[in-house]
Amino acid sequence: MGSFEIKSLTFSYPESERPALDHIDMTVRDGEFVLICGCSGCGKSTLLRHLKTVLTPHGKREGEILFDGKPLEKADLYTQSSKIGYVLQNPENQIVTDKVWHELAFGLESLGWPSETIRLRVAEMASFFGIQNWFLKNVTELSGGQKQLLNLASVMAMQPSVLILDEPTSQLDPIAASEFLETVKKINRELGTTVLLSEHRLDEILPVADRVAVLDQGKLVCYDTPKKVGNFLKNQAHEMFSAMPAPVQIYAGVPNDLECPLTVRDGRNWLNRLFSGKKVSNTEPEQKSVCFSEETVIQMKDVWFKYEKNGADVVSDLSLCVRKGEWYSIVGGNGTGKTTTLNLLSRIILPYRGKILLNGRDLAKYTDKELFTKNLGVLPQNPQALFVKKTVEMDFLEMLSGTKLSEAEKLQKVREAAKLVDMTPFMQMHPYDLSGGEQQRAALGKVLLLEPKILLLDEPTKGIDGHFKTKLAAVLKKLQQTGVTIVMVSHDIEFCAKYADTCAMFFNGNIVASGPTGSFFSGNSFYTTAANRMSRHLFPHAVTNEDVILLCQKNR
């Protein structure tokens, strides 16, 4: 119970030339854990949505899907609702009711079960997922990770035989994401539920998947065990390869005929075998050239902040100093005050003690106009909050509405900004129709029209895949070269390690350590990149995949 057979499925959206799915053939066996990966817009979601009739998008469709040997359309709504569980991407949007217990019972109520049975099921699920402690709470009191766990639990309460998850962790921070994936693994292992999961952060989930399907422009290019898929992508030099876990990428960058490692532990063993009997002499990665000046643009001096007079301090005794043209990134766990610090810098909130200086002048003394035009640009965590018009172009023009430029000059400026953020082909689209990475860049372009000298970014890589991350980084690097200072808050260690000049670790409302990226990460033993964790016994200062690959090649 719980198998799928997809036979030559082709699907195209209305008014679209290219099929979104192109002759997909795949089988999912009962109890299997299948991972589906691919770039944004490759058809992952479209494929998954076809596996449940009520969610299937409208369009032209050929081919057949069998669920437990029978055509899927033949299974009635009741069977599909209870047997095929579906968890969507956004934790907030999926929650329907205001109480945790009510949400858990929602599906069972729909199925029309009596109260006694629902009570038992709900109790079972709450215990299995460790929800007892927040069972009676309002859903607004939960964290993002808890919300997604609640969504999973309320689907599991209906005891489905197949669980489908569409990028369930893209909106979660790394700790919450790994906790969530751990639970999914547990469901697969202990309940034998078939799992189909699409994901772009593969580090953790790839090693446990039974089979991996790689989609590219609607085609199934590869469907095999993780190791074989790694090999395949490497041989094809496929774009998706950049999403593979660090050990796989490093393995691929070094010519060798050993077995492909998937986890950090395997990667260490692989390195040991690679260098067994050889002397490793060259252990220092190349130093990044530092291109920022010594001039200070942002300075925080003993800053304290709390939301209520009797509340706890969110930011306490914080001092930091950012220099002109620097890419400064703040990393650290959830709720340590990172975003609050960014809000302090953008003057959305004010400190109750201490001083913030911008270009040597007190931040509180700036007028709004002085502060936000040609000075400070802020990119919010959710780019959707910035869009106000029907098309991206109109949205961009909106930013210039207060200036005295002529129409032609405005258009010229908008075009330049669009080019800078690589959005030229999308200017006539509705901002909400763009994918996450494109929205992020559109919002950035909008902010850039105010010609900021300092850019504040709040988790710019949240929910976007490797391809878009690279694009975003290229845009930001370009800006940095024109002298723009970047202050970024992020959970994405790999991204910070690759691009930032300086990293600072936030803990308990304060910076506990900071330094140039390379020495910062190689000094940490847990809070560091996978490449560093895997290779630190040989190359203690190598931080990025490229560092390790280069050192491996040098030492052979």
Choice between 113 and 275, CB closer to another protein: 113
SS3 483: coil
Nearer CB in complex with another protein: 122/181: 122
Assign 507 to helix, strand or coil. Answer: strand
Q: Which stretch binds another protein (CB under 8 A): 365-373, 482-490, 514-522, 545-553?
A: 365-373
13 near another protein, rule: CB under 8 A:
no
113 binds another protein (CB under 8 A): yes
CA 6/CA 29 separation, integer angstroms: 11
The alpha carbon torsion through 127, 130, 133, 137 (nearest 10 deg) reads -90
Q: Is 149 exposed, middle or buried (0-12, 13-18, 19+ CB in 10 A)?
A: buried
Alpha carbon distance 527, 174 (integer Å) = 11
The nearer residue to another protein, 97 or 269, going by C-beta atoms, is 97
Under the binding rule (CB under 8 A), the answer on residue 112 touching another protein is yes
Contacts of 442 (CB under 8 A, 6+ apart): 383, 387, 392, 395, 421, 423, 426, 431, 434
Site residues (CB under 8 A) for another protein, limited to 64-93: 77-78, 81-82, 86, 88, 90, 92-93
Stretch binding another protein (CB under 8 A), from 105-113, 177-185, 244-252, 494-502: 105-113
Question: In this structure, what token pair is assigned to residue 2?
Answer: 């719980």
Would you state the structure tokens that stand for residue 365, as one six-digit string?
């003394």
Task: Give residues 447-506 in contact with another protein (rule: CB under 8 A).
Answer: 447, 450
Q: Binding to another protein by residue 226, rule CB under 8 A?
A: no
Question: At what angle are helices 246-253 and 264-274 packed, to 10 degrees?
Answer: 20
Q: Point out which span in 58-66, 97-105, 355-363, 492-500 binds another protein (CB under 8 A).
A: 97-105
Q: Which amino acid, residue 183? A: T
Contact range with another protein by CB under 8 A, out of 30-38, 48-56, 209-217, 299-307? 48-56
107: contact with another protein by CB under 8 A = yes
- Distance in angstroms (rounded) separating the CA atoms of residues 127 and 124: 5
Return the range that interacts with another protein (CB under 8 A); candidates 133-141, 245-253, 255-263, 434-442: 133-141
What residues from 406 to 435 belong to the interface with another protein (CB under 8 A)?
Answer: 432
- By the rule CB under 8 A, 95 interacts with another protein: yes
CA pair distance 395, 439, nearest whole angstrom: 12
Say how far residue 402 (Cα) sits from the centre of its chain: 35
Letters for 390-409 (x = contact with another protein by CB under 8 A, - = none) are ---------x--x-------
Among 283, 296, 382, 514, binds another protein (CB under 8 A): 382
97 contributes a contact to another protein by CB under 8 A: yes
Options 29, 60, 99, 419; binder of another protein; rule CB under 8 A: 99
Strands 33-37 and 211-216: what pairing?
parallel
The least distance separating another protein from the CB of residue 166, rounded to whole angstroms, comes to 10
Q: Taking CB under 8 A as the rule, does residue 45 contact another protein?
A: no
Residues between 158 and 177 with contacts to another protein, criterion CB under 8 A: 158
CB atoms within 10 A of CB 375: 17
Instruction: Give the SS3 label for residue 458.
Output: strand
The single-letter code of the amino acid at 19 is: P
If binding is defined by CB under 8 A, does position 181 make contact with another protein? no
Site residue total, another protein (CB under 8 A)? 65
Q: Does 348 bind another protein (CB under 8 A)?
A: yes
Out of 37, 125, 139, 497, the residue judged to bind another protein by CB under 8 A: 139
- The alpha helices in 337-435, defined as continuous H runs, are 338-345, 368-372, 392-399, 407-420
Q: Which of 179, 186, 223, 224 is CA-nearest to residue 204?
A: 179
Is the CB of residue 299 less than 8 Å from the CB of residue 357? yes
DSSP readout, 286-336?
Answer: PPPPP---S-EEEEEEEEEE-SSTTS--SEEEEEEEEETT-EEEEEE-TTS
155 binds another protein (CB under 8 A): yes
* 118 near another protein, rule: CB under 8 A: yes
Give residues in contact with another protein (CB under 8 A). 52, 54-55, 77-78, 81-82, 86, 88, 90, 92-99, 101-102, 105-115, 118-119, 122, 136, 138-140, 151, 154-155, 158, 343, 346, 348, 368-369, 372-373, 376-378, 380, 382, 384-388, 399, 402, 432, 446-447, 450
